């Protein structure tokens, strides 16, 4: 299966590296707009002196036709990448994207979603948004875990992550080292957003279960402040400074909470895990000890979804509408 990576940033490069390891998948092209990358062998961007024969090309010269699937990793906001998706569709390629808003675009981006869906159906290709979260841990997996339930009242998903064990950009993203006042200002300015995609995850769950919920709320991220000095990638963070944050969201029906998601990432988390609790018949209490590594997980879910997207019926689908992705040989 021939696959083009569209977007050669950190995630696109990791996807390219993963594709080069797969027996059944072929890295067939690499697309970016960054002048500094154009014309370079993507191998060089992965490790020094590596050669793959795949050269980074601008979108207009992109070898999209002939590709069964494009893995698009250029943005989190759907409006910003609609034209890129349309170009892939027009070239006859299926599209798997890490765009968070694409994981469930039928609410916040209803009109764009309808346009993409129509275009994809006309051209006979599939478009799906995925990743570790949104796309798997807080939506597709909880949906799968309701399979042994006769009824479900509420779904609670909790991720606990130690940010000090992650990349520096991630630690910065959660406010590590800021004063609580600096953190508050960055929330107000939008420089810190907390986890993106919680509302999309809740909407994906609700759609998959046939739930019509009437309110989706997302609290502003709350800072977690060091009670004692904490070691991080930024050195020691003193007591009283921020070491990370908690993102929380809830979905209700008639005032009753039906879905609650919370994502905690700070440098003093002792025990990392990803947990799904289903209040239902029977109740389900599931946990992945140690959690799933976010970057590896997103690359893997995305690559593993490609084969499913190619085989799926045409249109703009969600992860709950595809046979579950599994590790691709």
Stretch of 140-148, 179-187, 230-238, 262-270 lying at the interface with a copy of itself (CB under 8 A): 140-148
Q: Determine, following the binding rule CB under 8 A, whether residue 325 of this chain makes contact with a copy of itself.
A: yes
| β-strand pairing of 69-72 with 273-281 | unpaired
Cα angle value 119/209/69 (rounded, 5°): 35
Contact flags string 266-295 toward a copy of itself, x per CB under 8 A: --------------xxxxxxxxxxx-xx--
CA torsion through residues 191, 194, 195, 200, sign: negative
User: Which one, 66 or 283, has the nearer CB to a copy of itself?
Assistant: 283
C-alpha torsion sign, points 72, 198, 221, 296: negative
Crossing angle of helices 110-123/78-90, nearest 10°? 10
Minimum CB separation of residue 142 from a copy of itself in Å reads 9
Please identify which residue in 13, 304, 315, 316 interacts with a copy of itself, judged by CB under 8 A. Answer: 304
Q: Which parts of 31-166 fold into alpha helices (H)?
A: 42-46, 78-90, 110-123, 140-144
Nearer to a copy of itself, 67 or 152 (CB): 152
157 in contact with a copy of itself (CB under 8 A): no
303 binds a copy of itself (CB under 8 A): yes
Q: Where are the alpha helices (DSSP H) in 58-109?
A: 78-90
* Span between the terminal Cα atoms of the chain, in Å: 11
24 contacts a copy of itself (rule: CB under 8 A) = yes
Closest residue by Cα to residue 81 from 99, 107, 108:
99
d(CA 12, CA 246): 27
Q: Return the residue of 47, 60, 151, 270 that touches a copy of itself, per CB under 8 A.
A: 151
Is 328 a binding residue for a copy of itself by CB under 8 A? The answer is yes
Instruction: Mark the segment that binds a copy of itself (CB under 8 A) among 87-95, 119-127, 206-214, 264-272.
Output: 206-214
Q: Residue 147 interacts with a copy of itself (CB under 8 A)?
A: yes
Q: Contact between 150 and a copy of itself (CB under 8 A)? A: yes
Give the span between the Cα atoms of 271 and 67, in whole angstroms.
42
Least distance (Å) from a copy of itself to the CB of residue 294? 9
Cα–Cα nearest to 8, from 63, 70, 77, 72: 72
Among 91, 140, 198, 225, interactor with a copy of itself by CB under 8 A: 140
Binding site for a copy of itself (CB under 8 A): 18, 21, 24, 132, 136-137, 140-141, 143-152, 208-211, 280-290, 292-293, 296-297, 299-301, 303-305, 320-329
């Amino acid at each position: 299966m021939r696959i083009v990576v569209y977007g050669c940033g950190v995630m696109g490069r990791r996807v390219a590296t993963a594709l080069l390891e797969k027996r059944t998948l072929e890295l067939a092209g690499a697309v970016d707009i960054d002048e500094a990358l154009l014309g370079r062998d993507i191998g060089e961007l992965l490790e020094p002196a590596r050669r793959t024969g795949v050269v980074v090309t601008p979108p207009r010269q992109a070898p999209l036709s002939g590709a069964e699937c494009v893995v698009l990793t250029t943005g989190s906001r759907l409006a910003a990448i609609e034209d890129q998706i349309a170009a892939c569709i027009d070239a006859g390629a299926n599209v798997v994207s890490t765009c968070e808003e694409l994981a469930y675009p039928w609410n916040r981006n209803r009109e764009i979603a309808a346009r993409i869906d129509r275009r994809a159906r006309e051209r006979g290709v599939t478009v799906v948004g995925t990743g570790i979260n949104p796309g798997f841990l807080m939506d597709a997996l909880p949906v799968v875990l309701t399979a042994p339930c006769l009824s479900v009242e509420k779904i609670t998903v909790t991720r606990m992550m130690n940010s000090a064990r992650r990349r520096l950009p991630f630690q910065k993203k959660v406010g590590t080292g800021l004063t609580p006042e600096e953190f508050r200002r960055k929330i107000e300015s939008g420089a810190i957003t907390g986890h993106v995609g919680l509302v999309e995850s809740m909407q994906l769950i609700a759609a998959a279960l046939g739930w019509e919920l009437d309110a989706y709320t997302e609290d502003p991220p709350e800072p977690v402040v060091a009670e004692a000095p904490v070691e991080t990638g930024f050195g020691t963070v003193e007591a009283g400074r921020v070491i990370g944050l908690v993102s929380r969201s809830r979905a209700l029906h008639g005032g009753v909470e039906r879905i609650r998601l919370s994502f905690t990432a700070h440098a003093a988390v002792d025990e990392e895990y990803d947990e799904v609790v289903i209040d239902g018949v029977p109740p389900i209490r599931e946990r992945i000890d140690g959690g799933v590594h976010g970057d590896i997980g997103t690359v893997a879910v995305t690559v593993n979804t490609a084969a499913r997207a190619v085989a799926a019926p045409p249109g703009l689908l969600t992860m709950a509408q595809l046979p579950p992705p599994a590790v691709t040989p």
